[in-house]
Amino acid sequence: MELLSTNLCFGGEHRRYRHASHALACDMEFAVFLPPAALGPEPAPVPVLYWLSGLTCTDQNFMQKAGAQRLAAQLGLAIVCPDTSPRGVNLPGEDDSYDFGSGAGFYLNATRQPWARHYRMYDYVVTELPALVEARLPVTDQRAISGHSMGGHGALVCALRNPGRYRSVSAFAPIAHPSQCPWGEKAFSGYLGDDRERWAAWDATLLIPQARERLPLLVDQGTADEFLDTQLNPEALVDACERHHHPIQLRMHRGYDHSYFFIASFIDDHLLHHAQALGLR
Asked if 149 is an active-site residue, the reply is: yes
Span 27-69, pLDDT tens digits: 999 999 999 999 988 889 999 999 999 999 999 999 999 999 9
Catalytic residue among 21, 53, 102, 149: 149
Q: Give the CA angle between residues 60, 136, 161 to the nearest 5°.
A: 70
Low-confidence ranges of the chain (pLDDT < 70): none
**Integer Cα distance of 192 and 188 in angstroms:** 5
CATH number at residue 173: 3.40.50.1820
Give this prediction's pTM.
0.97
pLDDT at 41: 84
Asked if 244 is an active-site residue, the reply is: no
pLDDT at 256: 98
Catalytic residue among 14, 118, 148, 258: 258
* Residue 218 phi, psi dihedral angles, 5° rounding: -105, 120
Is residue 185 classed as helix, strand or coil in its secondary structure? helix
**Integer Cα distance of 144 and 91 in angstroms:** 32
> Where does 95-177 have alpha helices with state H?
121-123, 129-136, 150-161
pLDDT at 43: 87
What amino acid is encoded at 207 in this protein? L
pLDDT at 40: 80
The boundaries of the domain holding residue 28 are 2-277
pLDDT at 176: 98
Based on the structure, what is the number of domains in the chain?
1
Span 218-229, pLDDT tens digits: 999 999 999 999
